[in-house]
Amino acid sequence: MRTVRQLLDSKTPDIHAIGPDAPVIDAIRLMAEKGIGAVLVMDGGRLAGMLSERDYARRIVLEGRSSKDTCVREIMNSEIATVGLDDTVQSCMVMVTGTRRRHLPVVDGGDVVGVISIGDLVKAVIEDQQLELDQLQRYIAS
């Protein structure tokens, strides 16, 4: 089974983050610019939370708040599930489905080293299943 380390090795190493006191509009602009659905909220080098498009829709749009006048800390999710480099894809899938999260920060020695998404996990599962199918077909044909 593949590990988080292997997933990160196959991705670009970019980590996109914003400070907790930044206006929400800046976080939304960052997500749009980078084509991502969530950003880490970092406070002095420490992971303080995560802000997703879902958080924005539910806590700004539906509540009629201003994304220019609201700070990230007011709407971010501070209950963050993290994973380590040696966690398996399967254990991460259990975590994202069990907690209904779409993004998992990867932490190593207290430092954020990446983020994996449910899309990364699904892609890895599909690739692993295809590899297994190919091996079984070769075995049956031989």
How far is residue 56's CA from residue 38's CA, in Å, rounded to a whole number? 10
In the chain, which residues have pLDDT < 70?
none
Question: What is the pLDDT at residue 12?
Answer: 82
Question: What is the pLDDT at residue 13?
Answer: 78
Question: What is the pLDDT at residue 91?
Answer: 96
Residue from 68, 60, 78 nearest 29 by CA: 68
Count of domains in the chain? 1
Structural domain boundaries enclosing 36: 4-141
Kindly report, residue by residue over 107-129, the tens digit of the pLDDT. Answer: 999 899 999 999 999 999 998 88
Kindly report, residue by residue over 21-33, the tens digit of the pLDDT. Answer: 999 999 999 999 9
Q: Please provide the DSSP assignment of 26-51 as one string.
A: HHHHHHHHHT-SEEEEEETTEEEEEE
How far is residue 36's CA from residue 18's CA, in Å, rounded to a whole number? 13
**Cα–Cα distances in angstroms (integers) from residue 54 to residues 9, 62, 70, in the given order:** 28, 11, 16
Tell me the CATH number at 60: 3.10.580.10
CA 139 to chain centre: 37
Residue from 3, 15, 16, 10 nearest 92 by CA: 3
